[in-house]
């Protein structure tokens, strides 16, 4: 009896100890994709998504080849906002960069990807291992955001102007398992080509976004659409009964 009592008591103590251990919170994976370039309203919204005061937000300028003027415009867009802006260049040297991409990017509260040449950006990220770091950041709960090339990169794929003459299909990181079309109404060739590629099965159904609108995804699920004005929208484009169906998504919030 004593032996049974002892085992029962030991088991109860183990259960009590396990119950008192803090449960590790599961990070929410968040992506904010907008259709055009960054601006102050979009950056304010990224700040709110971090749910932190004075968050560290890093700009990835790979798609423009780390263009100095583009980086300067990023700092100007962040001026006077309650955040700490950083830039992670991809064109670097071991002699001047003493921290790894992991060290820098995984210490941020949000990462914003700029526009430019999507195809070149994806190739450089894969060569540098930045694609793997971004996956780690996503799983860690670091907010990922961006427009144009910076929104297209989070999806399975879409159309890009990264090659001469014609728009072409490019593959993204696939964090969101749909296709995507930025600059939906501002560039006349985007919409008909997006329709054609989806209808022919070259692209999966997906989300199209006007330049001044954006979509929030959490854990790979559509959460809501936002816009900087009442004229900008987001859409879900699919095929129903052999025809392209464009569904207007309601704007849940107009950014001010």
Residue numbers annotated as active site: 148, 183
Strands 155-160 and 176-181: parallel
Task: Residue 139: count other Cβ atoms within 10 Å of its Cβ.
Answer: 11
User: Facing residues of 181 across strands?
Assistant: 208
Q: How far apart are CA 155 and CA 153, in angstroms?
A: 6
| Beta carbons within 8 Å of 151's beta carbon, 6+ residues apart | 33, 34, 35, 113, 180, 182, 209
CB 153 within 8 A of CB 175: no
For residue 8, what is the enclosing H or E element?
Answer: helix 2-20
Sign of torsion over alpha carbons 116, 65, 106, 134: positive
Strand order in the sheet with 234-240: 168-171, 155-160, 176-181, 206-209, 234-240, 243-249
């Amino acid at each position: 009896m004593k032996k049974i009592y002892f085992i029962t008591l030991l088991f109860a103590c183990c259960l009590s100890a396990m119950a008192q251990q803090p449960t590790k919170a599961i990070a929410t994976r968040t992506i904010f994709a907008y259709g055009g370039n960054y601006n102050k309203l979009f950056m304010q919204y990224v700040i709110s998504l971090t749910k932190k005061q004075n968050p560290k937000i890093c700009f990835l300028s790979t798609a423009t080849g780390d263009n100095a003027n583009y980086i300067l415009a990023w700092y100007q867009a962040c001026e006077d906002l309650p955040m700490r802006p950083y830039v992670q260049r991809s064109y670097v040297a071991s002699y001047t960069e003493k921290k790894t991409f992991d060290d820098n990017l995984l210490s941020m509260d949000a990462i914003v990807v700029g526009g430019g040449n999507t195809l070149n950006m994806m190739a450089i990220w894969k060569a540098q291992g930045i694609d793997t770091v971004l996956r780690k950041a996503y799983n860690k709960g670091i907010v990922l955001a961006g427009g144009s090339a910076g929104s297209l990169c989070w999806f399975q794929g879409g159309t890009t102007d990264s090659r001469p003459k014609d728009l072409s299909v490019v593959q993204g990181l696939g964090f969101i398992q749909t296709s995507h079309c930025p600059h939906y109404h501002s560039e006349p060739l985007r919409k008909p080509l997006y329709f054609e590629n989806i209808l022919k099965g070259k692209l999966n159904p997906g989300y199209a976004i006007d330049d001044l609108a954006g979509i929030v995804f959490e854990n790979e699920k559509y959460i809501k659409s936002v816009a900087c004005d009442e004229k900008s929208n987001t859409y879900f484009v699919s095929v129903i009964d052999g025809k392209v169906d464009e569904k207007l998504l309601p704007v849940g919030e107009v950014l001010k």
